[in-house]
């Protein structure tokens, strides 16, 4: 009895569906990368940490708004609020940890599993890949940099005596909330992806990213106090986007006395450096 196999028929089907183009391909890769980083199609442990961190970031806004809802007639609720400029400072550790959890997951697995050549063998270029991963990092990070502030703003609008008047008086704050959230998310997304692109090992990416954020911040704080030199505090990499976003609000004094311009310039410089690293890592001969 023969045990050989024989191919009876071979059929090839041509794709006749709609072709959406490169923007749709970038969006698809970005969307699925963001969902994977948040734990989609993975175990419950991968989903638990992003959910917990998002809820922790929302907690200050929910507590303040909850107390105002429960004790709406009490006089102490009149002063119960969180300044929009201070919110990111309160949740800075949560934002940092969230970025450390999210960004390595976006690129390390592709390099570890050697799937980059598969991506680049399709119509997705190296630039498309980087853009998709940047967008895939930005979307989850907005959950902790922008959404909590929008919830707080919506609650303040709801509990205002004259909601329309509050909206008119604080329309500028809404723009600052959106701008600040985007600045912080872009900074941590670009820098995190740049560090993670250097290795295919997620543990190394997490450790390297933490070291890059924490060690200069500690050194800057120690030297700033010891030497009484305010510009040394610009070494505080982890604080740069928070300070840059906070300085968007008028009348908010910077305790470091460095000034908004230098914090913003430092943030732009680090984002540019991160983009340069990504460009080098995914250059033409990288596959």
How far apart CA 259 and CA 28 sit, in angstroms, is 40
What's the whole-number mean pLDDT along residues 88-101? Answer: 92
Mean confidence (pLDDT) of the chain: 84
Q: Within a domain: residue 142?
A: yes
Count up the domains in the chain and report the number. Answer: 1
- In degrees and rounded to multiples of 5, residue 31 shows phi and psi of -65, -45
List all residues 6 or more positions away from 215 whose beta carbon is below 8 Å from its beta carbon.
none
pLDDT of 87 strictly over 80: yes
Query: Please, which pLDDT band fits residue 17 given cuts at 50, 70 and 90?
Result: low
Q: Within a domain: residue 237?
A: yes
- What range defines the domain where residue 208 resides? 22-281
pLDDT of 3 strictly over 70: no
Q: Within a domain: residue 5?
A: no
Enter the pTM of the model: 0.86
Q: Within a domain: residue 4?
A: no
What pLDDT score does 93 carry? 92
How far apart CA 280 and CA 286 sit, in angstroms, is 9
Instruction: Please give the share of the chain, as a percent, with pLDDT higher than 90.
Output: 36
Q: Within a domain: residue 1?
A: no
Q: Within a domain: residue 17?
A: no
Q: Within a domain: residue 14?
A: no
Q: For residue range 234-284, what is the model confidence (pLDDT) as tens digits?
A: 788 888 899 888 888 887 666 666 766 788 888 999 999 999 999 998 885
């Amino acid at each position: 009895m023969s045990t050989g196999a024989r191919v009876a028929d071979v059929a090839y089907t041509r794709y006749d569906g709609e072709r959406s183009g490169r923007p749709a391909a970038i969006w698809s890769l970005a969307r699925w990368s963001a969902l994977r980083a948040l734990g989609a199609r993975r175990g419950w442990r991968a989903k638990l940490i992003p959910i917990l961190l998002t809820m922790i970031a929302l907690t200050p806004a929910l507590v303040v708004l909850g107390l105002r809802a429960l004790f709406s007639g009490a006089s102490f609720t009149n002063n119960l609020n969180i300044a929009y400029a201070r919110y990111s400072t309160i949740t800075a550790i949560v934002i940092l940890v969230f970025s450390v959890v999210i960004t390595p997951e976006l690129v390390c697995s592709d390099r570890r599993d050697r799937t980059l050549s598969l991506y680049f063998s399709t119509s997705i270029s190296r630039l498309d890949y980087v853009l998709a991963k940047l967008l895939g990092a930005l979307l989850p990070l907005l959950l902790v940099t922008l959404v909590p502030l929008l919830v707080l703003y919506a609650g303040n609008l709801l509990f205002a005596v004259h909601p329309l008047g509050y909206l008119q008086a604080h329309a500028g704050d809404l723009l600052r909330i959106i701008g600040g959230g985007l600045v912080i998310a872009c900074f941590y997304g670009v820098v995190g992806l740049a560090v993670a692109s250097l290795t295919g090992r997620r543990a190394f990416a997490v450790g390297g990213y933490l070291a890059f954020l924490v060690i200069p911040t500690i050194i800057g704080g120690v030297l700033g106090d010891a030497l009484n030199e305010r510009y040394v505090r610009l070494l505080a990499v982890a604080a740069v986007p928070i300070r840059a976003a906070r300085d968007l609000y008028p009348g908010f004094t910077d305790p470091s006395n460095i000034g908004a311009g230098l914090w913003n310039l430092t943030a732009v410089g680090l984002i540019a450096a991160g983009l340069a690293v990504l460009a080098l890592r995914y250059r033409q001969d990288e596959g």
